[in-house]
Structure 1
Amino acid sequence: MDICATYERKLQDQQISPPLAAILSLSELCAASNAGTMFELVKALNEGADSLRRNSSNPISLNAGCELFIAFVTLFPHDSVPSASFSDLKMELVKQGQSYVRQALTYRTKIAELAVDFITDDSVILTHSYSRVVMETLLLAHQRSKRISVFVTEARPRGLGVKTADALTAAGIPCTVILDSAVAYAMEKVDFVIVGSEAVVESGGLINAIGSLNIAIIAKAANKPFYALAESYKFHRLFPLSQYDLPSHNPRILSFQTPVEQDRTVEKPSSSASPNTRSVSGALSSITQEQIAKNNPDVDYTRPDLISLVFSDVGSLTPSGESPACFRSLFFFLTRLFL
């Protein structure tokens, strides 16, 4: 089977996030596999996960789902299936994976119920980019008649802040889109920051849309709480020490181009181009937003000391107090949630 095509098909469902799409894709691979032993099955699943990682520009979030499912398969007790047939065992694994995804779709509601108690009347909230769990939390606060106003960052290069603002406006929540570079300007009016996550790592830090680190640093300087919302299936066994330790980093990001390379990649403007396109040297320039985005990262890493709380379906966590040993215990517990 084409696991990458299966993964893309699963993502067509707006409720399915990359980790859950990865779990469903590996479940289907499990059913289609000709493996006759557990060793062969785990090998096939690892190869499928590698294929998904290679074909994704940002594999961090989907990799969290792959690791969780493969760990579950490895730890699955064989004696829980009465039949001695390995085919029956594989089908049981598929059923468990699909059952977990159905259960995981309720996690956002659990997180929203936990986080909404921290939202008081007349709160001014800053959020970044677009997050399903953040949207659910804000909409729940609005449904409970809490008066809130929301600043939403533009979140370039993907510009997903506009999607958040459209959804909030449609729900009747006052909001305004601000420039990413205007976060420090707006922070004085903000009561707290609330963001989603691509992954929560072993250090207790957060991987999220690029710009999250900037916001966290500014919030810390302004003594404003910085809250992160993360479903437990986004807990990832990574321990980055810097931005350059992230799996999504590659030599292309923030690379310096030589003048020869720039001549090849920059499109020459027409003779009628606006004077504003002229560079300091007087030469015409037409560097596009797409070209800028290709040379910049999609996500960044926020240190745990900058995060006030992480709200998850397994409770509210204080990132700066977490240890790798505690994280590994939690990861093991999550693999048991399949059962």
Structure 2
Amino acid sequence: MIDETAAEIADMQTHSSSEVAVKAARALRSVTEREFPTVDEYHRALDRNSSALQRANPSHASLHNTQCEIVETVATSNVETVTAAKNLTLDTIDAIIERIEESKQAAADRVASMIESTQTLLTHDYSTTVLSGIEAAVEDGTELTVYVTESRPRYLGRKTARRLGEYDGVDTRLIVDSAAGSYLDDVDHVFIGMTCIVDKTLYNRVGTYPIAATAADVAVPVTSVGSAAKIIEGGFRFENEQRVTSEVMREPPEGFKIENPAYDATPVGLLENVVTDEGVIMPESLGE
């Protein structure tokens, strides 16, 4: 279970960072199904398996934070039996998953309240929280036009477009990433997710930065949406990832190199605001 989940995370089969954190937390339950002679042995196994899950994608702050919370809660609990340690692990995992789901819903509800009927929106990549916010607005009777970038080279935006295309109240229009600037003049608001915010920098799926910069140039507000737990004040260093070159081009490159970063860095000054489960945050209040 641990190895399979780590491989799935590394391969980005799960696209939303909050979904990654939930999936990893659930995978860690498998450690409680094994037998251990002592509490110390159990702690070591829990830490070892948690580290494997974190290494699968070092860029995911929510994955890092939730896994550390599980391990540290058990390690500092002073439980005396393996059974008690296992029960505490399961309780902690359940509490974390519930908190993540509640945080996503609270942030999505705030997004929905910001969206007005007949607006034209643009979103990039695949954010379950942004999707939930748009879906909640539509279920309340709002009618929207939504431009969705393909989010190459993984084409995660197509997944977003398919979801939005299921709603009669959404006129969904899929565009290539490089066409975003051609449509931003017609857009009222850009909503994007977040992998994390560290030191006044939003790290999100590659392609976010040029959209935010172009939107700022044409005075279209950009809102980043996610759990407040993704805003990191210390103890976490973002590590970008170079994806396999076959995602960009199947045949081997001859005479040139292919670079395929998974994320890019957007200065929070390009954002209108950041919406989390805890409220709306102004960019100037983020970081030092």
Q: Distance in 2 between matches of 1:322 and 1:104?
A: 21
Aligned to 1:280: none
Residues 68, 233 of structure 1: 8 Å contact kept: no
Who wins on radius of gyration, i.e. which is larger?
1
Q: Which runs of 5+ in 2 are unaligned?
A: 246-250
Residues 191, 224 of structure 1: 8 Å contact kept: yes
Q: Distance in 2 between matches of 1:33 and 1:71?
A: 23
Whether 2:89 is the aligned partner of 1:93: answer yes
Q: Distance in 1 between matches of 2:243 and 2:132?
A: 37
Deviations 1:253-273 (CA, angstroms, capped at 9, x unpaired):
8xxxxxxxxxx9348xxxxxx
Deviations 1:283-318 (CA, angstroms, capped at 9, x unpaired):
xx9x9xxx95xx211211212211222211122222
Aligned to 1:333: none
Q: Distance in 1 between matches of 2:37 and 2:65?
A: 19
Q: Distance in 1 between matches of 2:72 and 2:46?
A: 11
Q: Distance in 2 between matches of 1:300 and 1:28?
A: 34
Aligned to 2:77: 78
Whether 2:118 is the aligned partner of 1:122: answer yes
Per-residue deviation, 1:321: 0.9
Structure 1 residues 122 and 251, CA gap change in structure 2 (3 angstroms): closer
Structure 2 counterparts to residues 278-317 of structure 1, below 5 A: 295-317=259-281
Q: Distance in 1 between matches of 2:211 and 2:140?
A: 28
Q: Alignment partner for residue 190 of structure 1, among 183, 187, 191? A: 187
Per-residue deviation, 1:146: 1.5
Structure 1 residues 252 and 65, CA gap change in structure 2 (3 angstroms): closer
Structure 2 counterparts to residues 96-245 of structure 1, below 5 A: 96-172=92-168, 173-197=170-194, 199-236=195-232
| TM-score calculated relative to the size of structure 1 | 0.70
Whether 2:239 is the aligned partner of 1:247: answer yes
Identity %: 23
Residues 125, 149 of structure 1: 8 Å contact kept: yes
Residues 232, 312 of structure 1: 8 Å contact kept: yes
Deviations 1:188-223 (CA, angstroms, capped at 9, x unpaired):
1111110112x2233243221110011111111122
| 2:50 aligned partner, one-letter code | A
| TM-score calculated relative to the size of structure 2 | 0.81
> What SS is found at the alignment partner of 2:26?
helix
| 1:127 aligned partner, one-letter code | T
Q: Distance in 1 between matches of 2:22 and 2:239?
A: 19
Q: Distance in 2 between matches of 1:213 and 1:135?
A: 20
Per-residue deviation, 1:86: 4.2
| 1:28 aligned partner, one-letter code | S
Name whichever structure is richer in strand by fraction. 2
